Amino acid sequence: MAEPLQVALDATPLIGRPTGVGAFCAGVLGGLSRRPDVQATAYAVSWRRRHAIDGRLPAGVAVARRPMPARPLHALWSRGSVPPLEWFVGVTDVVHGTNYVVPPTRRAARVVTVHDLTTVRFPELCDAATLAFPALVRRALADGAWVHTHSASVADEVIEVFGADPDRVRAVPSGVPPLAAPDDAAPRRYLPDGVEHYVLAVGTAEPRKDLPGLVAAFDAIAADRPGLWLVLAGPEGWGSAQLAEAISAARARARVVVTGWVDDASLAGLLRRASVLAYPSRYEGFGYPPLQAMSAGTPVVATRAGATGEVLGDAALLVDPGDRDALAEALASVVDSPELAASLSARGRAHAAEFDWARCAAGLLALYREASGR
């Protein structure tokens, strides 16, 4: 049997509160760890918190222990090709930068994941830190890196925007982060007794998610449905002020609940009990919340934003981004029709099952082999 392919993956996104990129890292490492033909090594570009990844790695994944101070390394890497990553992880066949950044290497092939092109398409929706991503991707491409995306839509954008070689860009769909065992009491912690029906949205309060638009759409249908509430679950972000203004302006503001960050069990409980998940994003490169909702049997209404049409297919009701009237109509149709809700639930469960971490790991391994010549 051939020697396993040696792959070093950036696991820095596993540090801190879970994010979508962190969920991707965890899922990929889990998928690769179950394969005999690859040996994955995780590294974290952090001095103080590098040990925080230890308890979040699956069995069989090695850990690079040499300290990697983030600020000086990022400064050096932005200007040149030293120090190569092999100084920290040892000899490896491939280095996978899981979040727009892939360090320089001496001999190893380089793969960088581009999750979406929000920073190019909608720079006004981004914070200062993420606005550095396009320059980092351009540099990686100029140095010969291969590109992984979660969708064909973003792969096409990378080719169009950055002039990337189409033969070196690969779309490999992600798996779906598994839901925790649900805390079925979670809705009761956030909603008054007797409330059975609510629209749920999941995500950080940032402008790209267009939660103010969802509040307006909910407000348009709330008066005729006095038992319906809106639950916004997710941490605060740089769109929290605009969201607060939208809620304050809504006539049904008393029926809008902002939970803040919720733990995994509470999220699963909220998803399972929701009447419908709303995903009104203005742009997405993939989209975990709607697929997680589908896996829980919850109907989904989403926007055709970026890759969502490709990813969700006919398993969700789709409307155009920013069309609040269409969003309100779609939400009302699901809430008012048990037959439509049941149909979306069944289609969604079957559709979400197609996004599997083993399949994702196999697709990435094929990319790693091609990039490394193995």
User: Does residue 79 sit in the same domain as residue 64?
Assistant: yes
Q: What local confidence, expressed as pLDDT, does residue 50 receive? A: 81
User: Residue 285: which CATH number?
Assistant: 3.40.50.2000
User: Does residue 43 sit in the same domain as residue 119?
Assistant: yes
Residue range(s) defining the domain that contains residue 302: 186-352
Distance of alpha carbon 192 from alpha carbon 133, whole angstroms = 43
Domain presence at residue 89: yes
Return the percentage of the chain with pLDDT > 90, whole number: 86
Neighbours of 259 (CB within 10 A): 19
Q: Is 302 in contact with 280 (CB distance < 8 Å)? A: yes
Distance of alpha carbon 207 from alpha carbon 318, whole angstroms = 20
User: Does residue 169 sit in the same domain as residue 113?
Assistant: yes
Q: What local confidence, expressed as pLDDT, does residue 126 receive? A: 81
Q: How many Cα atoms occupy the beta-carbon half-sphere of 153 within 13 Å?
A: 18
pTM across the whole model: 0.94
User: Does residue 20 sit in the same domain as residue 141?
Assistant: yes
The single-letter DSSP state of residue 210 is -
Is there a cis peptide before residue 83, judged by omega within 30 degrees of 0? yes
| SS3 category, 192 | coil
User: Does residue 84 sit in the same domain as residue 111?
Assistant: yes
State both tokens at 34: 């179950």
Instruction: List pLDDT tens digits, range 254-297.
Output: 999 999 999 999 999 999 999 999 999 999 999 999 999 999 99
User: Does residue 258 sit in the same domain as residue 339?
Assistant: yes
Domain presence at residue 348: yes
Q: Is 91 in contact with 8 (CB distance < 8 Å)? A: no
Domain presence at residue 181: no
Q: Is 115 in contact with 150 (CB distance < 8 Å)? A: yes
User: Does residue 247 sit in the same domain as residue 163?
Assistant: no
Distance of alpha carbon 301 from alpha carbon 333, whole angstroms = 10
Domain presence at residue 180: no
User: Does residue 203 sit in the same domain as residue 279?
Assistant: yes
User: Does residue 29 sit in the same domain as residue 147?
Assistant: yes
Q: What is the radius of gyration, based on Cα positions, of the chain?
A: 21
State both tokens at 348: 């969604």
Residues of the chain with pLDDT under 50: none
Distance of alpha carbon 166 from alpha carbon 241, whole angstroms = 41
> Exposed, middle or buried by CB within 10 Å (0-12, 13-18, 19+), for 359?
middle
User: Does residue 168 sit in the same domain as residue 52?
Assistant: yes
User: Does residue 161 sit in the same domain as residue 194?
Assistant: no
User: Does residue 140 sit in the same domain as residue 32?
Assistant: yes
Q: Residue 27: in which H helix or E strand, if any?
A: helix 20-33
Q: What local confidence, expressed as pLDDT, does residue 199 receive? A: 98
Give how far Cα 192 sits from Cα of 187, 228, 336, Å.
9, 12, 21
Distance of alpha carbon 373 from alpha carbon 142, whole angstroms = 19
Q: Is 321 in contact with 283 (CB distance < 8 Å)? A: yes
Q: What local confidence, expressed as pLDDT, does residue 1 receive? A: 60
Q: What local confidence, expressed as pLDDT, does residue 77 receive? A: 84
User: What residue spans of the chain are helical by DSSP H?
Assistant: 20-33, 70-79, 86-89, 118-121, 133-142, 152-162, 186-190, 211-222, 240-249, 264-273, 288-295, 308-312, 324-336, 338-352, 357-372
Distance of alpha carbon 150 from alpha carbon 144, whole angstroms = 20
- The residue among 152, 153, 119 whose CA lies nearest residue 138 is 119
> Where does residue 258 fall: left (phi above 0), alpha (psi -120 to 50 degrees), or beta otherwise?
beta
Distance of alpha carbon 313 from alpha carbon 281, whole angstroms = 16
